[in-house]
Amino acid sequence: MGTQRGPWPVAYVVVVGLPATGGALLNLVLCYLAVFATDDCGITRPDPLRCTGGGLLLMWGLP
């Protein structure tokens, strides 16, 4: 006398779980890039966009 479940739990995982997981992974990648993007900024190099104030704000705002 068990009750049979419909496809609702599977649909919920697909509709909510997959986009949430994808968003979390994308956020992780963008945070990684934002943290390590300025490693080669120094006084002997010309200032690329990522080493300027506006570039830093852009990278910090992406994630």
pTM of the model: 0.54
- The answer to the question of residue 39 being in a domain is yes
- pLDDT tens readout for residues 4-60: 766 678 888 888 989 999 999 998 888 887 777 667 776 666 667 777 778 778 777
pLDDT value for 25: 93
- The answer to the question of residue 22 being in a domain is yes
- pLDDT tens readout for residues 37-47: 667 776 666 66
- The answer to the question of residue 27 being in a domain is yes
**The dihedral formed by the CA atoms of 10, 12, 15 and 24, expressed in degrees to the nearest 10:** -100
34 Cβ contact list (under 8 Å, min separation 6): 59, 60, 62, 63
| Structural domain for 55, as ranges | 12-61
Q: Are 61 and 55 in contact (CB under 8 A)?
A: no
- The answer to the question of residue 4 being in a domain is no
- The answer to the question of residue 17 being in a domain is yes
